[in-house]
Chains A and B, each alone.
Chain A
Amino acid sequence: MIAGIMFFLLYFGQSFGFSSNLRTICAAAGAGKKTKFFDFKWKTQVWNLVFLVGAIIGGFIAKQFLSTDLPVQISADTISDLAKLGIAAPASLQPAELFSLDAILSVKGFLVLAMGGLMVGFGSRYAGGCTSGHAISGLSDLQVPSLIAVMGFFIGGLAMTFLILPLIF
């Protein structure tokens, strides 16, 4: 289905990459006046913002009409590894330790989400794409830069998982 959407966008003369929206929103908010990077015709990217709104609505529909509210069936190994970090087995899609209201009201909890978002935003623009742009669209076109970026995603992801998360939790 993800590949289907990519071809649908290609067919309508666009390309599939989600993180460009972040740049578009910055530009639409007026960042182009001060910074050249955001000084582009963001209105040509409105279709991608429509995709963003669609993704929010899609999430809502999935929750309201398709959800079975079963916890995520991750492997037993992952559950035991996460338990060592103090994160309980899934009760829903997301861990309460990170995403509950209580969690974000603590300084640490807030910083975890804020830093995570900051690095995703910064990294995706620096690398010129995120999972959809590089791992899916880029690899589909067998592009070397995308392969390097995906290797980077994994170096960073593994470092966070095995080296940094144990320090945080």
Chain B
Amino acid sequence: MTADSFLFFFLAFVTLVSGLAVVLLANPIYSALCLAMTMVGVAGLFVTLNAFFIAGVQLIVYAGAVMVLFVMVLMLFDLRHELAAFTRGKFTGTVKIATVGLLAGLIVGAIMMSSGMLSDRSAQASDVLKTGADTTKDLGTLLFTKYVFGFEALGVLLLVIAIGAVSLARSKGGTHAKH
């Protein structure tokens, strides 16, 4: 087993185990922390695909911002009562087994359906991987030539999200409700 494939299997193992732990653990804080670990694992997988900038962005935005938001908000709510109500019983057991089954089915299906895909595109893709080229400048070039409208639209989308979040925080009965 080469070093590259060992790294890939290790990272895939970490990502999958963390992802399973998100679904199967009872404590929501543990689930959120395992989801952060999953994001870090996905960032590592991006690195094995030579997408270094996207790996860094995944770390900054997903693992460093979104998951911090999740963990902070989960810590604000004392979920122990809700926890007791939700993790007992046959319903949650069935939901957990169904989720694991769905995930396993997705994995098997992806492997079966992609075995033909890889052999067609492998020549082009592995050339990029072999040269180890840095794709950040290509990304920047593409962003401003082909996708410049999407880029501007993204700015407007982020503005809309900001307005929505602030207005959501102003809902009645909350600490920031308008008097």
Verify that A and B bind, or say they do not: no
